[in-house]
Amino acid sequence: MKAITLWQPWASLLASGAKKYETRTWATTYRGQLAIHAAKKFPKEEIELCWEEPFKTSLSKSGLKVEDLPRGAIIAIANLTDCLKVNEEFIKNLAGTTELEFGDYEIGKYAWVLTDVRPIKPIAVSGKQGLWNWNEADIE
């Protein structure tokens, strides 16, 4: 199965369903199951972001505490169903939603559409950049 590594809190926001799109500078033609991997690294700036709105409320509503966000693990399985180029109309459709805060919706970037997100018990795995192949044989 393909996987993608994301920093926290974005990985957990996806796993909890609070975030519906993953924004990237690059498009993908891949469609299908995608493992969501939470990076081991949790930079200070991202930790501080967790205490700001709407991150704080979204994490809290999902029962997540900043200090307990999993790292270095696969935490969810989703279906990558589409990859949309961000344009003014796309941004307009997100107006008034927390989704705009949870991604980099600069015109020209790409929004990966993730559906049927299923959180799983964290499985310790080393992450990689880009899309990478993962299977349970990779468990550390």
- CA dist 26 and 71 (Å) reads 24
Q: Are 73 and 125 in contact (CB under 8 A)?
A: yes
Q: Quick check: helix, strand or coil at residue 26?
A: coil
Helices (H) and strands (E) in the chain, counts: 4, 6
pLDDT tens-digit map of 31-55:
999 999 999 999 999 999 999 999 9
Q: Which two three-digit tokens encode residue 56?
A: 């704080």
Q: What is the pLDDT of residues 64-75, one digit of tens each?
A: 999 999 999 999
138: pLDDT strictly greater than 80? no
Is this structure's pTM higher than 0.75? yes
Tell me if 98 sits within 8 A of 54, measured CB to CB: yes
87 contact partners, CB below 8 Å, separation of at least 6 = 107
Cβ neighbours for 81, distance < 8 A, ≥ 6 positions apart: 31, 113, 114, 115
Average pLDDT, the chain: 94
pLDDT given for residue 140 in this prediction: 46
Predicted local confidence at residue 135, as pLDDT? 84
Q: How many residues does the chain have?
A: 140
Q: Give the model confidence (pLDDT) of 105-118 as tens digits.
A: 999 999 999 999 99
User: What is d(CA 47, CA 27) in angstroms, rounded to the nearest whole number?
Assistant: 28
Q: What is the pLDDT of residue 137?
A: 57
